[in-house]
Amino acid sequence: MRKDSAGGLVYSTEGGRMCALCRQPIGACTCRATARELPAGDGVARVSRESKGRGGKVVTLVRGMSLDAAALAALGKRLRTVCGTGGTVKDGVLELQGDHAERVIELLKLDGHTVKRAGG
């Protein structure tokens, strides 16, 4: 009989289906929750302008920030307030209405972030 390190308990009458990674019941699985909480991005903020698919309206995008959801929302709130415009956070990308790329770059550099201008 071969012992496989990847194998293990798949189902238990006590807990139901079991996670193969953390060996906990699926309802109490901790590995998937920590994977969702990890921020996406390499830590370099890439600031760009975009108008495609927005009816000709220009938006400023900030991508690549390695912040969790709460910190990214707080940063978005601060940038919207300073720029005096609206915006949102979608899928880890900050969107600010209007062309505020230069102002956003300055503010992010003052906060100590590594910033690059992306696009043309």
User: Does CATH number 3.40.50.1100 belong to domain 44-117?
Assistant: no
pTM for this entry: 0.65
The string of DSSP codes covering the chain is: ----TT----EETTTEEB-TTT-SBGGG--HHHHHHHSPPS-SEEEEEEE-TTTTT--EEEEE-----HHHHHHHHHHHHHHHT--EEEETTEEEEES--HHHHHHHHHHTT-EEEE---
Q: Quick: pLDDT tens for 61-113.
A: 999 888 888 888 999 999 999 999 999 998 888 999 999 999 999 999 998 88
Q: Where are the domains of the chain?
A: 1-38, 44-117
